[in-house]
Each structure stands twice: as C-alpha cells, then as structure tokens.
Structure 1
Amino acid sequence: MLKEPNLMKQVEVRAGDALQRLLRNIPILQIEGIETEAVSGDWEPDLIARLLVDGRQHLLICAYKSNGQPRYARSALLELRNYVAQRAPLATPVFIAPYISPAVRQLCEDKGVGYLDLEGNARIAFGGVFIERMVTDKPAAEQRELKSLFRPKSAQVLRAMLREPGRAWRVTELSEISGVSLGHVSNVRTGLIDREWARVSDDGLVLSKPDALLDAWRDSYTAPPGERLRLYTPLHGSAFEDSARGALCAEDGPGHAVFASFSAAHWLAPYGRTGTHYFFADEEGLRTLQAALKLTPASKGENVVVIVPKDLGLLADTIEPAPGAICTSAVQTYLDLSIAGERGAEAAEHLRLQRLSWPQ
C-alpha cells in the first residue's frame, strides 16, 4: 500500500491516490502496493505500482511532473523509457501530471508510454488490460495560462512572430517591434517553449509549430472587448469602396480605422460577399468613417459595423493588399472570422489556406 504521507511528497500522495482510484475499478487487477523509490544520485521513478493481473505480477513505473507541458513531458518520457529498458523491461512506463494536453497524450502514445493526469484523463495498456478515459474540459489553471498567453500585450508579440514565422528573434527585438516590455516578452517566450510551439536556436527564438499556436489561439479566442456600433451608410458599390479607402489611408487624420473581419477577408482572400461592412477604429478614426461614409445609427437594418476596441494594438497590426485597403493582419482577420458563425468559419479556413500556410 501507499507509504505514510510523511514519507512522501504531497504531490506523490496525490499521484498515487489517483493511480489507485483508476486501477481499483479494474476487476482482473489486484493492487499489491504503490510505493516510492528511495532518492539516489541516479534517476528513479516517483512511483512503482506492483500489480497482480490474473495471478501474474506486473509493474507500472511512474514519473510525476508538476508541469505536464511538452517541454517537461518529453524529458520524463525519455527517462521512463530508459529506466524500463535497463531495469524493468517487462514493466509499463506511465507519465503522471496535473494536466496532460491532447498533444502530450499523443506524444505518450507515440512513445509507448501510458499516462494519467489528476483531471481524470488516462490511457494505460498492458497484457489484457486497456484503460482509457477522457475529460472534455480543460482545468481552470490551464485555461488561465492560455488566456494569459493570448491577452492583448502577449498577442502583440505573437502577431509579430507570426508575420515572420521563420525568423529567429532576440527578446530585445521582440520587445522593440511589439512595444511590449522585456519581462512580458520573456513570459511569452517561456510559454511558447514549454508548449514546444517555439524553440531556441543560436540566433534566437524561432516558431517551430506556428499551426499549433494558431489552432490554440483560435480555440480560446473571443471577440475583442470594446464598443460595437451598428450603423447605416447610403453608399454602395464603388462609391462606398472609394470613400472607405480614402478614409482609411487619410494620412493627415489623427485617428486610425481598418477593414476587419469579412471586409478584410474580401481583400486578403475573397471567399463570399456579405451585405455588412466591418471596421476596427479608434475614436478619431470612427469620426473619419462617419463623415466619409455618411454613417447614421441603425437599430436595425445596419450595413456597417464599427468596433472601437480597447486594445488599440489591433489597429497597429495591419496589411495593405491594395492602395488604401488597410486591413487587419491575416492572423487577426482569421481569428475574427473564426467566431463569426458558420460562414465566418468557412471564410476563415479559406483565408488560412491562402495566407497562413507554413511548411511543417
């Protein structure tokens, strides 16, 4: 059985309890004991589960990490496999962490290592035993970490990197180009490396999995907070287009406004027209649009939507695919389309294929 708690680390107690709860529900299993190895100079497993399976002995060799991100999981899997190969070739290696993401679960399967997290996700197979459980919700801590990585200041760093995904970045360079403090850039750097979305080269930080980064950003993305105005313009066709482009590229104006969402996608990767035009603008940019497009408030029947975002960094990350057609970047346009309903999701995937495809 488990050793007394005062002889084990608290985390090992939790890991051992979770493993015991999982195993004791398997009818053909009998748990003889779950114990820790004595600390030594060499690597040792955190837990060893001694089992009887239909009367035959079997060992689970377990490593626990307090952080289950790929960066830490990969080293634990290597240590587990080496230990089993050298010391217990018939045993089953098992990786345990507070939370194990789908990417790390796949890594465990690829390496032939079982896994268990304290949220309830598990996959352990040996002999005639196969255990698999999946929990759909991410733990609150994981959700907070991801949201932190995609908050406005962090997003400024990510957008800079995704504009040049093959470039190696020094922290100071990212700080200067994104307008974000060195400390904040360092936090983003750590988050990317931990998830293996980026790697460190001799020349700096390089995105290694931009697609995985963009997938995670899309999945946690919500509409930027700010004022959303529903307006009506009497202008149509070329008259609207000419007036809008003139307003967006007005160099003598103090404000900023850009095509966004479906309207930006029209210039970046045309997919299908919509009857509504979309813009991001600051307060001065809004006034410029109101004058140029003859905008009036509309309680219904609007054909223009202007969002005045709290995050003005959105107005700095732009692209100009045609003179005066100043648009949110391909990444930002993709994110906004991804939450714009079924048609938006289709337009987002079209945009991604056209503008956001990177070598694997």
Structure 2
Amino acid sequence: MKIDRIGLECVENKFLKLPNIQKYEVIHRTEGGFIASVEMDDGYEFQINAYFLDRVFPSTVIKLIEKQNKSQGVNILVAPYISERTAQICEDNGMGYFDYAGNCWFVGHSIYLSEKGNKNPRPKEQSSVSIFERTSVVSSCILRELFADVTKIWKLKYLSEKVKCSIGQVSKLMKVLVENAWVEKLPDGYKVIDPESLLLEWSKDYGKKEITSYACYSLDNISVIEERLKKLKIDMGLDSYLTGLSGGVRYTPVVRYNKVHVYIAPEDIQEAIRYLDMKEVNSGSNVVIFPLENDSYIKDYRVIGDSAVVSPLQIYLDCMQIKGRGEEMADAVLKKEILR
C-alpha cells in the first residue's frame, strides 16, 4: 500500500505551520504509510508513525488501533476521507488523524492540533443510497428486526425468512453494519455491539429529507383529542398510531407536551381530519398527522391504555426529529425500552 503525495503533504503542512516546530522530516516509508521525525524548538524529538488507508471504516480503524505500536512514537491515521464516527474512535483511543480536507486531531508532547468542519465529500466509491433512508424499506425492516432484541445473535437465513427478503440483501446490509463496527460477525452469527451509536446514525439520515405531514389545529385540548382518536377506530374503523412525545409518554412520562403526533393511512387522513373537527394550518398546530406510507413504521406497535402506540424504536426515530424536548424523550425511551 502506497501513501500518495497529498497524504504526505496534508500532514507536513500542519506541522510546519506550528511555531514551536524546528524540523519535520519523513525518514522512512513503510508498507502502510511512513515514519516522520519531529524536532521541537526546545530540542525535544519524537517520531510519528503514520498509517495510510485509502478507504476508512470504523472497523478497520479499530483493528489498526488494536495492533499499533504505542511504545515507539505517536500514531496517526491519514486518509482522503474520515467520518465523524471514525474521528471520534481515533480521539477516544489517542490516535491522531489527518484527512485531505484539512480536518485533523493530534496530541503529542506539548502539541495539540484540532481542526474540524472542513467539507470533504465522501469519495464516489464509498457513496451509495444510505441503508437508513426512509425509502430503504427492506433495510429498515431488517434493522427493526435486529432491534427486537439487541442481545441476540442473528443468522442471515433467519433474518431473510423473517423479513421476507433474499439472503443477499441481508448480507449486504450486515457488511455495512460490520464495517462501521455497529455489528460484530461471530462464528455462529451476527450481534449488535453498539446499538446506541447505530440508532443515532439512523436518526440523522432518517431526518435528512422532510416528509409530508398534515399540521392541524383543534379547539379541543390534548387529552380530548387523544380520546377522540380512540373513537376514530370505533366509529369510523380508521386506525391511528401515536408517535412523537404523545406516544413516548406512554412508555416513559419524562416530558410534558402540547402537540399530538400520529400516523394514519394516507387514504384516511382527510376523513380523520373531518371526524376530529380539525383544520389544516400553516402555524400554531396542535396535531401533526404523518402518512403511514409503509407498515415498517408500525412494526411491533403496542396498545397502551386503549391507544395504539408505535414501537419504542419508532418513537426514538421520530422524537429525534422534534426540536426542544424530543431528544430528551428519545434518550429516555432508548434506555428504558430498547437497551434493556
């Protein structure tokens, strides 16, 4: 593996700009990177062991950290693109990193380097439709099955039969999860090893694209609206599923709320609005209706106090998109219902 000129220069430029650096010199090329000597103005010298990776995944970085030699010099990772998650893993384990956009982190002797926020698009060969996008229905179904029990060891064949998809589709998803160190491949199957980080990443992609919703206003107070939603099923035969804060409090009442979030089948929404005697508004809504575009949103829903409520997983994903107390509710549901 050869490190290219850009990789060498992105490290050299950072060090030579420091006022307390007397000398920086690459003294040896290695199979996977290079070794550089750094001399400071107080005469102190140390070595940098640089590892170059053309494509970086959290799993490869974790393996690199496990085998690095900490007895000689300071270790750094150099790559064209380094994700936020990979960067955090490096920082948590004391490994420096440099990418081609100028983002870096390095701690050694009296040197502290940190630069973040420079845009560095993911290389084309690494880009693809995210497994977390709302349109990735099959991936969503597989992920939801994994979160049915995060302590379980899962087999590809079982997941493909359960979700009714090909083993190839499950295998492709698992490859991404293993590369990102969210799932570990064991001799007898696959196990989720970092569910919290996996869910956080899912929630970020989940909220990137704004979905269609119906903002409504009712003269009734929140408790009356929720009671009328129960009658919607009895009187009209229309299903509704609480989500967001109004759903989350059914699992753990940690916040107060003044808005009802609910899933209703697209073809039933207008009829539901008329039955509930609501009006669509541009602002000041106290009810938000999300179209139930596919059944994955209501997988493992529960009936709590005669109200249908989406699963804790769906509560987490939806609450993470709600400004204010949404993240607080998501975190509470995560700890009480998902990671138990």
Task: Specify if TM > 0.5.
Answer: yes
Structure 2 match to 1:328: 310
Secondary structure at 1:36's aligned position in 2?
strand
Q: Secondary structure at the match of 1:196?
A: coil
* Conservation of the 8 A alpha-carbon contact between 1:61 and 1:80: no
Amino acid at match of 1:118: Y
Deviation at 1:246, TM superposition (A): 4.4
Distance 1:232 1:292, change over 3 A: same
TM-score under structure 2 length normalisation: 0.81
Distance 2:5 2:118 in 1: 24
Q: Which residue of 2 aligns with 1:160?
A: 145
Deviation of 1:317 after TM superposition, in Å, equals: 2.1
Decide which moves more: 64-73 or 337-346.
Answer: 337-346
Unaligned segments of structure 2, at least 5 residues: none
How far apart, in 1, do the equivalents of 2:4 and 2:279 lie? Answer: 64
Per mean C-alpha deviation after superposition, the further-off stretch among 267-276 and 331-340 is: 267-276
Partner of 2:244: 261
Match of 1:351 among 325, 328, 333: 333
Q: Does 1:66 align with 2:67?
A: no
2:162 maps to what in 1? Answer: 177
Query: What is aligned with 1:33?
Result: 26
Deviations for 1:62-113, whole angstroms, at most 9, x for unmatched residues? 11112332211122234431xx75xxx4x33322223334554454455554
Partner of 2:301: 319
Pick aligned residue for 1:206 from 191, 196, 209: 191
Tell me, yes or no, if the aligned pair for 1:95 and 1:114 is still in contact at 8 Å.
yes
Which runs of no fewer than 5 residues in structure 1 stay unpaired? 1-7, 38-43
Counterpart Cα distance in 2 of 1:24 and 1:244: 66
Residues in 2 aligned to 1:299 and 1:60: alpha-carbon distance in whole angstroms: 58
TM-score (normalised: structure 1):
0.77
Does the Cα contact within 8 Å between 2:212 and 2:290 map onto a contact in 1?
Answer: yes
Would the aligned equivalents of 1:45 and 1:61 in 2 still touch at CA under 8 Å?
A: no
Aligned position for 1:80: 68
Tell whether the 8 Å contact from 1:45 to 1:80 is kept in structure 2 after alignment.
Answer: no
Partner Cα separation in structure 2 for residue 216 and residue 197 of structure 1:
10
Query: Which of residues 299, 321, 333 in structure 2 aligns to 1:339?
Result: 321
Partner of 1:16: 8
Contact 1:156 1:313 in 2 (8 A): no
Change (3 A) 1:142 1:257: farther
Contact kept in structure 2, 1:258 and 1:315, CA below 8 Å: no
Given candidates 127, 130, 142, the residue that maps to 2:111 is 130
Identity of aligned residues (%): 22
Paired residue for 1:279? 262
For 2:26, the aligned partner's letter is G
**Residue 34 of structure 2 is aligned to residue 47 of structure 1:** yes
Say if 1:256 and 1:107 are closer, same or farther in 2 by CA, change over 3 A. same
